[in-house]
């Protein structure tokens, strides 16, 4: 079981090569938030719920 998120799937993020896979969704979110902070200079603590929903919808997993 693994969950994957590709940053380029997010609208407007197409050139970003960031892609993360983790065993749990909680860990995957850690990667996504750190990536957003370091690479995109965004503060994940300021993301509104609909931002998180958009990301959540793009997470693939089995
Ligand atoms: Zn990215």
DSSP string, the chain: --EEEEGGGSTT-TT---EEEESSHHHHHHHHHHHHHHHS---GGG--HHHHHHHHHH-EE-
The rounded Å distance from CA 40 to ligand 1 centre is 6
Task: Give residue 62's pLDDT band: very low, low, confident or very high (50, 70, 90).
Answer: confident
Q: How much is the mean pLDDT over the chain?
A: 96
Q: What pLDDT score was predicted for residue 28? A: 98
pTM of this structure? 0.93
The rounded Å distance from CA 54 to ligand 1 centre is 14
Q: Is the pLDDT of residue 43 over 80?
A: yes
Q: Is the pLDDT of residue 23 over 80?
A: yes
The rounded Å distance from CA 1 to ligand 1 centre is 23
The rounded Å distance from CA 26 to ligand 1 centre is 18
The rounded Å distance from CA 47 to ligand 1 centre is 15
């Amino acid at each position: 079981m693994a969950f994957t998120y590709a940053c380029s799937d997010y609208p407007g993020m197409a050139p970003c090569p960031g892609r993360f896979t983790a065993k749990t969704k909680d860990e995957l979110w850690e990667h996504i938030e750190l990536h957003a902070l370091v690479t995109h200079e965004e503060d994940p603590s300021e993301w509104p719920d609909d931002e998180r929903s958009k990301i959540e919808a793009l997470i693939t997993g089995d």
